[in-house]
Amino acid sequence: MADAADKTNGRTGEELPQPDPAGYFEGESMSRRRALTVAGQAVGGIAGAIIVLPAVGFALAPIFKKPDELWEAVGPTSRFTPDTYKPVVFTLVEGIGEAGKTTAFVRQGSPKYGEKSTDYVAITTRCAHLGCPVNFVAAAKSFVCPCHGGVYDFEGKVLGGPPVRPLDRFQTRVVKGQVQIGPRYSVTSQLEPVRYRDPGEYTGGIWNYIYPPRPDTPPAP
């Protein structure tokens, strides 16, 4: 009795050409199913990359952005003396209001420390341990950090506590009798300038490679 659903009319398929190996016809190195699978995955991968790569680049772009060089006048040369620091406030980052301002301690260069009296020294308030704001204590002629007890001498070299290097400095110049403060730079324990590092990172010798310089920081003077 014939099955109504049977549309083969008794043919078994034996008389049709049989691919060998199964699924591959003559001259094919890849079955159609496999070719379509690979093509589908490739298209999906390209579509995914088109979305993901720009997004990742968008998030990472600031790391490679060259900084603008900002110079700001902080007062006449007569305001600063070689024997003590005066605090000055200036804008470090533009566009974020008060949060972008920072304080630096400025003095005139002193022959006592091998500096010219026409130069000016600007020392950051940012502790070289983890970035808390240090204060200059005039009576002790030293910088003291309130967070973890870092202490620095008059030149900003470490006297005690956890800081890993001397206090960072800012480039200075004199324009029309006004002292101007510019880009930040770090120093080694011998006060040699190096490209600016974040707090907590050692400087000098092999440390300059273990904590590599970043493209978004200004070059050392």
List b or e across 66-86, with b for residues whose CB sees 16 or more CB atoms inside 10 angstroms.
eeeeeeeebeeeeebeeeebb
Based on the shown chain and the rule CB under 8 A, indicate whether residue 60 belongs to the binding site for other proteins: yes
Based on the shown chain and the rule CB under 8 A, indicate whether residue 63 belongs to the binding site for other proteins: yes
Based on the shown chain and the rule CB under 8 A, indicate whether residue 5 belongs to the binding site for other proteins: no
Based on the shown chain and the rule CB under 8 A, indicate whether residue 46 belongs to the binding site for other proteins: no
The binding track of 16-35 with respect to other proteins, each residue x by CB under 8 A or -, is --------------------
Among 23, 67, 149, 219, which residue sits at the site for other proteins (rule: CB under 8 A)? 67
Among 74, 88, 92, 106, which residue sits at the site for other proteins (rule: CB under 8 A)? 92
**Least distance to other proteins, CB of residue 105, Å:** 19
User: What's the rounded Cα separation, in Å, for the pair 18 and 97?
Assistant: 78
Site for other proteins in 116-135 (CB under 8 A): 130-133
**Least distance to other proteins, CB of residue 214, Å:** 5
**Distance of alpha carbon 210 from its chain centroid, rounded?**
14
Among 10, 17, 27, 97, which residue sits at the site for other proteins (rule: CB under 8 A)? 97
208 is written with which tokens?
A: 């300059």
The binding track of 186-205 with respect to other proteins, each residue x by CB under 8 A or -, is ----------xxxxxx----
**Least distance to other proteins, CB of residue 218, Å:** 9
Among 21, 95, 111, 114, which residue sits at the site for other proteins (rule: CB under 8 A)? 95
The residues that touch other proteins, with contacts defined as CB under 8 A, are 59-60, 62-63, 65, 67, 92-93, 95-97, 99-100, 130-133, 147, 196-201, 210-214, 216-217
